[in-house]
């Protein structure tokens, strides 16, 4: 077997093990709830029967490890359980399936994140590579200073700055991104411009700095100096000698920052009242709706782990030096 295949399979297995432990942590969060939480959800007037029925629905009469396998089995089949809200003391159950709550919002979040990614990835790469090439020039210094400041800003500060300038003082874009299933694509893009721009500013700063560092690292290596001393043109040095080896670090940078996007989306969705999964999670945390929180946490964590895993694997596949470990 090719050694690289072994490494990749090893990484994939490691990712699976991580996913298993993460799901275990997310599942066990319900274990730490106080014993009378069923009473708290159903209300003071709940009869013993309703409480007992609710406990049986949650499976609290079974041991924890059986409940874990029941839960993870259901999740694998796309059943995330039922929300805690909409329950009443009389036993009438108006709760909604978590899948129905999550699914449309997940689509919205992916749309927003995708929009930010499409703009920011090429922009960051161009900025990063050019800043590395013209190192210590005025251009490099100013790009560096701007990105260092945007990194230090909290996301909501950037978001409100954009709202102040582009929605309030000079009203060209809407400050509320209230999309629904019927919104046309053009209208949807128009409404998402400010939230996507906020995410772009944050991501571009991180990605540009990491790309710049990776390229500078590469340009310092002896074989690049050799090709320069040979008298090759600057374009040729970059295109033929530097770039092939730069793909691995750049791919890692992109995947790492898309994973960062997963977290950044929560605050931005709340600022722009965008109906995405981040806002759903924040609402669920406020009302202590555990099944919804668990589902959202699982989705966020899985995306994060998968993106990091992709970065790892791309790094292995494109870097010949990793093929021959010492």
Partner 1 sequence: MTDTPQAYSAAAEIGQIRERRTWIQIAKIELKKAPYSAWFGLIVIATYLFVAIFAPLLAPHGEAEIFPASFAPWGGDFVFGTDQIGRDIFSRLIYGARNTIGIALATTLLSFAIGGSLGLIAAISGGWLDQLLSRFVDVLMAIPGLIFALMLLTIFGSSILSLIMIIAVLDSTRVFRLTRSVSVSVVVMDYVEAAKLRGEKLGWIMRREILPNIMPPLIAEFGLRFSFVFLTIAALSFLGLGIQPPTADWGSMVRDNASMIQFAKYDLTAALTPMIPAGAIALLTVAVNFVVDWFLHITSGLNDEH
Helix segments in 137-232, DSSP class H = 138-152, 155-163, 185-191, 193-219, 222-229
- When asked if residue 312 is in the footprint of partner 1 (CB under 8 A), the reply is no
- What does each C-alpha distance from 323 to 2, 7, 217, 317 come to in angstroms? 9, 9, 20, 8
- When asked if residue 153 is in the footprint of partner 1 (CB under 8 A), the reply is yes
Is 183:191 a contact under the CB 8 Å cutoff?
Answer: yes
In the region spanning residues 244 to 283, those forming contacts with partner 1, defined by CB under 8 A, are 259, 262-263, 266-267, 270-271, 281-282
| Residue closer to partner 1, measured from CB, 166 or 247 | 166
Using the rule CB under 8 A, which residue among 101, 129, 300, 313 binds partner 1? Answer: 300
Per the listing, tokens 């959800």 go with 41
Per the listing, tokens 């991501």 go with 203
Using the rule CB under 8 A, which residue among 1, 45, 169, 181 binds partner 1? Answer: 169
CB 90, min distance to partner 1, A:
26
- When asked if residue 119 is in the footprint of partner 1 (CB under 8 A), the reply is no
CB 185, min distance to partner 1, A:
27
- Alpha carbons 260 and 206: distance in angstroms, whole number: 9
- Alpha carbons 49 and 54: distance in angstroms, whole number: 9
- When asked if residue 224 is in the footprint of partner 1 (CB under 8 A), the reply is no
- When asked if residue 221 is in the footprint of partner 1 (CB under 8 A), the reply is no
| Residue closer to partner 1, measured from CB, 190 or 304 | 304
DSSP state of 175: S
- When asked if residue 296 is in the footprint of partner 1 (CB under 8 A), the reply is yes
One-character DSSP codes across 2-58 = -HHHHHHHHHHHHHHHHHHHHHHHHHHGGGGS-TTHHHHHH-TT--HHHHHHHHHHH
- Alpha carbons 267 and 260: distance in angstroms, whole number: 12
- When asked if residue 25 is in the footprint of partner 1 (CB under 8 A), the reply is yes
Closest Cα partner for 96 from 105, 77, 83? 83
CB count within 10 Å of CB 234 equals: 9
| Residue closer to partner 1, measured from CB, 136 or 180 | 136
Is 175:167 a contact under the CB 8 Å cutoff?
Answer: yes
- When asked if residue 286 is in the footprint of partner 1 (CB under 8 A), the reply is yes
Size of residue set near partner 1 by CB under 8 A: 52
- When asked if residue 304 is in the footprint of partner 1 (CB under 8 A), the reply is yes
- When asked if residue 64 is in the footprint of partner 1 (CB under 8 A), the reply is no
| Residue closer to partner 1, measured from CB, 52 or 304 | 304
Using the rule CB under 8 A, which residue among 146, 301, 314, 317 binds partner 1? Answer: 301
| Residue closer to partner 1, measured from CB, 43 or 154 | 154
Question: Which two tokens mark 136?
Answer: 């210590």
- When asked if residue 308 is in the footprint of partner 1 (CB under 8 A), the reply is yes
- When asked if residue 71 is in the footprint of partner 1 (CB under 8 A), the reply is no
Closest Cα partner for 101 from 84, 119, 89, 124? 84
- Alpha carbons 299 and 296: distance in angstroms, whole number: 5
| Phi and psi angles of residue 159, each rounded to the nearest 5 degrees, phi first | -60, -45
- When asked if residue 32 is in the footprint of partner 1 (CB under 8 A), the reply is yes
Catalog residues that contact partner 1 under the rule CB under 8 A. 18, 21-22, 25-26, 29, 32-33, 148-149, 151-157, 160-161, 163-164, 167-169, 175, 213, 216-217, 220, 259, 262-263, 266-267, 270-271, 281-282, 284-286, 288, 290, 293-294, 296-297, 300-301, 304-305, 308
């Amino acid at each position: 077997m090719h050694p690289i295949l072994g490494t990749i399979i090893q990484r994939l297995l490691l990712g699976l093990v991580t996913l298993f432990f993460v799901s275990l942590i997310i599942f066990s969060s319900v274990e730490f709830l106080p014993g009378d939480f069923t009473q708290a959800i159903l209300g003071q007037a709940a009869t013993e029967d309703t409480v007992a029925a609710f406990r049986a629905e949650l499976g609290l009469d079974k041991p924890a490890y059986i409940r874990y396998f029941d839960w993870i089995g259901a999740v694998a089949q796309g059943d995330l359980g039922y929300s805690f809200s909409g329950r009443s003391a009389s036993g009438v159950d108006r709760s909604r399936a978590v899948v129905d709550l999550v699914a449309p919002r997940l689509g919205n979040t992916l749309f927003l994140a995708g929009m930010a990614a499409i703009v920011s990835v090429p922009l960051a790469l161009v900025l990063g590579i050019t800043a590395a090439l013209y190192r210590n020039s005025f251009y490099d210094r100013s790009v560096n200073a701007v990105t260092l400041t945007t990194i230090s800003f909290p996301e909501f500060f950037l978001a409100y700055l954009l709202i102040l300038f582009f929605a309030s003082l000079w009203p060209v874009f809407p400050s509320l991104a209230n999309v629904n299933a019927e919104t046309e694509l053009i209208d949807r893009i128009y409404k998402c411009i400010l939230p996507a721009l906020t995410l772009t500013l944050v991501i571009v700063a991180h990605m540009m700095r990491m790309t710049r560092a990776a390229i500078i690292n590469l340009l310092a290596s002896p074989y690049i100096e050799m090709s320069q001393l040979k008298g090759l043109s600057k374009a040729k040095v970059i295109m033929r000698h530097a770039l092939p080896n730069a793909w691995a670090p750049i791919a890692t940078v992109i995947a790492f920052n898309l994973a960062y996007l997963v977290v950044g989306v929560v605050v931005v969705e709340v600022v722009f009242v965008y109906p995405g999964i981040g806002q759903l999670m924040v609402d669920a945390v406020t009302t202590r709706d555990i099944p919804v929180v668990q589902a959202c946490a699982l989705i966020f964590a899985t995306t994060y782990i998968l993106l990091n895993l992709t970065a790892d694997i791309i790094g292995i596949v494109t870097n010949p030096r990793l093929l021959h470990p010492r």
